[in-house]
Chain A
């Protein structure tokens, strides 16, 4: 099993550009989520999904969209990048409902100029 994979590992964008961060898992986990991690702020939940076709907002959803058309994939879209979105983005997955361990991808380091 590859676990949770994320692409790209690094990305530099200009203000106003859009892009999609990819996340995939091969563990058949129903729960997937996106976090951003900033210095001194810890991990903050952006969006999450409890299964294919179901998504919901987390703590800091503004400026981001998600969709979940399959169990495996959970892409995160930045609609119009802003410097405030410079961060490290982690995708995670876990089995549903039971509060189990979350498995994280290696992260995407995004810089918005």
Chain B
């Protein structure tokens, strides 16, 4: 079983729709969690960190469920510019450092 799993999609949604992605992880000792966004042929960039209590940044909401070992990303009022691949990242402790493991990404296509 891969350590971090995501549905690759693509999720094909109209503008204005609400869409949600989940990401499951296998290491129960994982310490920190992130969502990154990656545009085609570009480097990944941090979208948001995921906190235990859940957090929101504008149209984006991230949640963590430690008991079930998954994180989620909710995008409300989708824009064309939200089209990208969304990468889930889970950091596990290793020798005092945090080693990130990336999911394979979920592709989102927002159409007019």
B105 partner residues in chain A, CB cutoff 8 A: 42
Instruction: Say whether A42 contacts B103, CB under 8 Å.
Output: yes
Q: Is B1 an interface residue (CB 8 A)?
A: no
Question: Min CB distance, A14 to chain B, in Å?
Answer: 24
Instruction: Check if A113 is an interface residue, CB within 8 A of chain B.
Output: no
Chain A residues with CB under 8 A of B87: 42-43
Contacts of A105 in B (CB 8 A): 43
Contact with B along A12-49 (1 / 0, CB 8 A): 00000000000000000001010100001111110010
Q: Could you list 30 examples of A-B contacts with CB < 8 Å? A: A35-B102, A40-B104, A41-B104, A42-B87, A42-B102, A42-B104, A42-B105, A43-B44, A43-B102, A45-B99, A45-B101, A48-B99, A50-B97, A58-B99, A90-B43, A96-B97, A97-B97, A97-B98, A98-B32, A98-B98, A99-B32, A101-B34, A101-B46, A101-B49, A102-B44, A102-B89, A102-B100, A104-B43, A105-B43, A107-B43
**Contacts A42-B87, A45-B99 given; 19 further ones with Cβ under 8 A?**
A33-B100, A35-B102, A43-B44, A43-B87, A45-B100, A48-B97, A90-B43, A90-B44, A99-B91, A99-B98, A99-B100, A101-B34, A101-B46, A102-B46, A102-B100, A104-B43, A105-B43, A106-B43, A107-B43
- B binding-site residues for A, Cβ under 8 Å: 8, 31-32, 34, 42-46, 49, 87, 89, 91, 96-105
